[in-house]
Amino acid sequence: MTKLFNIANSNAITESANILKEGGLVAFPTETIYGLGADALNEVAVKNIFIAKGRPQDNPLIVHVSSQDDVEKLAHLNENAKKLIDVFFPGPLTIVLKKKDIVPDVTTAGLDSVAVRMPDHKLTLDLISKSNSFIAAPSANTSGKPSPLNAKSVEEDLYGKIDAIIDGGNTDIGIESTVLDLTSEVPLLLRPGLVTVEDIEGVVGKIDVHKSITQSKVDLDSPKSPGMKYTHYSPNANVVLVENSNVVDIAKQKGESVCLITFQKDIDVKVEKLIQVKDNRDLSSKLFDVFRECDREGIKYIIVEAPKNDGFGLAVLNRLKKASNEIC
Ligand code: TXA
Ligand code: MG
């Protein structure tokens, strides 16, 4: 049985923290997406996350902390880490550092590094601190499916497989945190997010961007972050990413059963579902939920106008490329 808690219920956090202390699994909102949490230091609990999600064992988890000071309990800090924690914690930035022995191998999938993040979400911070531990949490979806932006999406994938879900409404950002590897001298961006390359370079100087982010297809031979080599964010519908053509023409070509996602305001096209977005933030806050809605409605094609490849656009485009079956 999966318990459903509403965030407005005053006991939700205390009861959920107790479940985590006992080694259970709780899904909770963050500012990015919903996470599926377990005590990061409890090997059995962490193993259960992999089972519930159907997640490959070699894909490490992010450990969530409730204060800046806690990072040092899990990892060896360096100068770049100190500066970035100061500016971006709490927030949608995950940093990868050399791990301390306290972190079990199952949490980091056997790597000698650990990914750490402090979410910018009051409820989640309360939950982590009341659990008296650190919370390992991947996205609260079945592996390969779009990340969940609300409790309904978590239920769809994980009801009956986890102990509780905290319903805190729709998340704000809608795509996962930026992941930055700080174990090498020059930091390496492993996953783009709302904290942009420019934001990071403003604090630590020039960084490298992993080639899988700039290429359209991932190099399966040398994934720096194990998560890079798996299919991601895929709805059942075919996602068509339109970079170099006119979205309206492509929508017309595909004919019936089309969801069109576009930045354009005045367009003349008949489609089953039309999502007009203002900017990248608007798009990211809706994207994964629109994917899930289209699957519920049996839509065949999701045609998306590509954002510009700069700033936050890099992150949105990265998710779209990973989800797409066709780029034109
Ligand atoms: O916004 C987020 O980051 C959400 C919320 C719940 O915090 N979490 C999330 O977790 O997206 P997940 O497991 O879906 O993605 C974690 C990513 C994966 O690509 C994983 O391979 C990478 O971080 N990662 C974790 N530990 C790592 C490590 N030690 N070295 C390199 N990459 C790591
Ligand atoms: Mg995920």
Please identify every stretch of the chain with a pLDDT value under 70, giving residue numbers as ranges: 216-231
Looking at residue 226, the DSSP 8-state letter turns out to be: G
Containing H/E element for 16? helix 12-21
Tokens representing 5 are 């808690």
Looking at residue 82, what is its pLDDT?
Answer: 98
d(CA 266, CA 189): 37
Rounded to whole angstroms, how far apart are CA atoms 160 and 155? Answer: 8
Q: What is the reported pLDDT for 221?
A: 47
Amino acid 215: pLDDT: 73
The residue whose CA is least distant from atom 19 of ligand 1 is 227
- CB of residue 32 inside a 6 A radius of ligand 1: yes
Q: Which residue, 140, 143, 134, 147, is CA-closest to 63?
A: 134
- CB count in 10 Å sphere of residue 211: 11
Closest alpha carbon to 97 in 69, 75, 80 = 75
State the closest ligand 1 atom to the C-alpha of 92, by its place in the atom list counted from 1. Answer: 1
DSSP string for residues in 80-128: HHHHHHHHHSSSSEEEEEEBPTTS-HHHHTT-SEEEEE--S-HHHHHHH
Q: Which atom of ligand 1 is nearest to the CA of 113?
A: 29
Amino acid letter, residue 23: G
Residue 268's pLDDT is 87
| Residue-level pLDDT at 65 | 98
Nearest-atom number in ligand 1 for the CA of 224 is 31
Q: Tell me, what's the pLDDT at 226?
A: 57
Taking only the tens place, the pLDDT of each residue in 110-168 is 999 999 999 999 999 999 999 999 999 999 999 989 999 999 999 999 999 999 999 99
pLDDT in tens, 42-56: 999 999 999 999 999
Any atom of ligand 1 within 6 Å of the Cβ of 35? yes
0.85 exceeded by pTM: yes
- C-alpha distances in Å from residue 171, one per residue of 120, 249, 289: 11, 33, 10
pLDDT at res. 233: 76
| CA of residue 213 relative to chain centroid, distance | 15
Distance CA 93, CA 82 (A): 13
Cα(233) to ligand 2 centroid in Å equals 8
Measured between alpha carbons, how far is 46 from 267 in angstroms, rounded to an integer? 48
pLDDT on residue 318:
95
How confident is the model at residue 218, as a pLDDT? Answer: 43
Q: Is the CB of 108 under 6 A from ligand 1?
A: yes
| CA 34 – CA 32 distance, rounded (Å) | 7
Model pLDDT, residue 23: 98
d(CA 121, CA 86): 17
Please report the pLDDT score of residue 228 as a whole number. Answer: 54
